[in-house]
Structure 1
Amino acid sequence: MLDAALAVIEENGTEISVQQIADRLHVPRPVVYRHFDGRADLDDAIRRHIVESLMAELLPRLHPDGTVRELVRGAVGTYVGWVERHPHLHRFLAAADPHGDSATVLAGARDRIGGQLADLFADTLQRFGIDRNRARPMAFGTVGFVDGVVNSWRAAPTLTSEQVEGILTESVLALLEGNARSLDVPLTRDTVVSELMARAQLSPRSPAGVATVVADL
């Protein structure tokens, strides 16, 4: 039923009726309402389904494979590409009541993305002997920045998706490199993430590095 609702939104835009969903399913309109406590409950369920669809594509891209540039470009490109392919679904998400259950769903999605990114940042910082609590504001600041730029682009799409993807990728890379320099972490956009993790184990500030230094004394 929710797949049918998404298909109707994709074809007709955000202003859809329950009758359109019922017609798509070839069932009477009351059958749709049997599964939900009114229209607001239906809309919340649709938004949850949209978010799950997006997360299924995006979360696998937030893994430490390849270079930093490849990780950032892959995640940014996946999100921008999804929004471009599904403009009506993105607009339906954006139209959620800020005080309703849908807002909680969207906040939860940002928490999942930001949380996974924060874990990646925190693990790297900790390996270099740096307070892992620094990771959370860096991660959620990055997520908020990307989301804000994409929302602005969709409101006034004067640039192509490739241009937006390029701007976002370069901006996020500059942000990561700037934070890395301030923390004395040897990270650049061309750093292979797995190699960075291995180097971190040998850092004099890391627990393993401290143990090695002590053993050599």
Structure 2
Amino acid sequence: MKRDAVNPSRRSGRAERWAGHREQRRTELVEAAIEAIRERGAGVSVAAIAAQAGVTKPVLYRHFTDRADLQRAVSERAARMLLDRLLPELATERDPIERIRAIVDAFLAGIEDEPELWRFVVHNPGGEHEASADVVAHNLALIAGMITSGLVEELRARGRDAGGAEAWAYGIAGMVYTAGDWWLQRRTMTRDALTDYLTQLIWGGLSGVLGTAAPAQKDEDGRPLRLVAGEQEG
């Protein structure tokens, strides 16, 4: 009788070890790809990624079915890196406005620290947009889900209707995401300034829903800031 037929657990063990080895190698190649993106920019070629990993393109493609598969794996890793920054802020208990500010700042800090990785994931220069679009959508949904839970708790605790919580959560997540992308390309203000602007806008809306007074934001002369131009006070 064949040895594996006598001891099928041995065959299963070898298969598990090989699968674990392939997963570990794939992880190492993703990390090498991230280093190549940091050094060469978001438009880095697959050949440059392979060189960074110390392998040839054919060897690289033994672990990824195509470029899109590699992009998706890098996008998933980048998303986890960003979520690692956000999750502690989402879980930390503090005053609502300070919690919002901390979450916004953590997001902006994440993309500021990894600008080329952000561009690779979000804009995919020279790549396939669909390869990472699903990853972006998934993580926006995850963040919006966490915000939704927090809003529902706050609204119910105050005896208010929580029906709009999910819509507001997606609006908040999408606003910070798009504003952060704009800011990374333009850099017309500091990160602190953008964090303050977004925090005031978010809290200004939520405070009305929650029935909490929102702190007034003022300009350098001490006058209340207006979102819509109107008559100047005399």
Q: TM-score category by the smaller chain?
A: 0.7 to 0.9
- In structure 1, the residue matched to 2:51 is 23
For the residues of structure 2 that align with 1:2 and 1:98, how far apart are their CA atoms? 17
- In structure 2, the residue matched to 1:115 is 145
Please point out which of 184, 187, 190 is paired with 1:160.
Answer: 190
- In structure 2, the residue matched to 1:175 is 205
Please point out which of 45, 48, 51 is paired with 2:79.
Answer: 51
Shift of 1:8: 0.9
- In structure 2, the residue matched to 1:201 is none
For the residues of structure 2 that align with 1:29 and 1:101, how far apart are their CA atoms? 19
Contact (CA 8 Å) 1:67, 1:189: kept in 2 or not?
A: no
For the residues of structure 1 that align with 2:214 and 2:95, how far apart are their CA atoms? 7
- In structure 2, the residue matched to 1:61 is 89
Please point out which of 128, 133, 151 is paired with 1:103.
Answer: 133
Please point out which of 98, 103, 115 is paired with 1:75.
Answer: 103
- In structure 1, the residue matched to 2:158 is 128
- In structure 2, the residue matched to 1:37 is 65
Contact (CA 8 Å) 2:71, 2:131: kept in 1 or not?
A: no
Q: Deviations over 1:49-93 (max 9, x none)?
A: 111111111122112511112201110110111111111011112
Shift of 1:29: 2.5
- Tell me the amino acid that sits aligned with residue 103 of structure 1: A
Shift of 1:135: 1.0
Query: TM-score w.r.t. structure 2 length?
Result: 0.73
Contact (CA 8 Å) 1:48, 1:105: kept in 2 or not?
A: yes
Shift of 1:31: 1.4
Contact (CA 8 Å) 1:68, 1:189: kept in 2 or not?
A: no
Does the alignment pair 1:5 with 2:5? no
Number of equivalenced pairs: 185
Contact (CA 8 Å) 1:63, 1:71: kept in 2 or not?
A: no
- Tell me the amino acid that sits aligned with residue 173 of structure 1: W
Alignment gaps of 5+ in structure 2: 1-28, 216-234
- In structure 2, the residue matched to 1:90 is 118
Shift of 1:24: 1.9
Mark the structure with the bigger radius of gyration: 2
Shift of 1:189: 5.9
Contact (CA 8 Å) 2:36, 2:52: kept in 1 or not?
A: yes
Shift of 1:95: 1.3
- In structure 2, the residue matched to 1:144 is 174
Shift of 1:19: 2.2
Shift of 1:32: 1.0
- State the Cα RMSD in Å: 2.0
Alignment gaps of 5+ in structure 1: 182-186, 191-217
Query: TM-score w.r.t. structure 1 length?
Result: 0.78
Of 55-64 and 90-99, deviating more is 90-99
- Tell me the amino acid that sits aligned with residue 65 of structure 1: E
Q: How has the CA–CA distance of structure 1 residues 148 and 55 changed in structure 2, closer, same or farther, with 3 Å as cutoff?
A: same
For the residues of structure 1 that align with 2:202 and 2:167, how far apart are their CA atoms? 14
- Tell me the amino acid that sits aligned with residue 39 of structure 2: E
Of 76-85 and 19-28, deviating more is 19-28
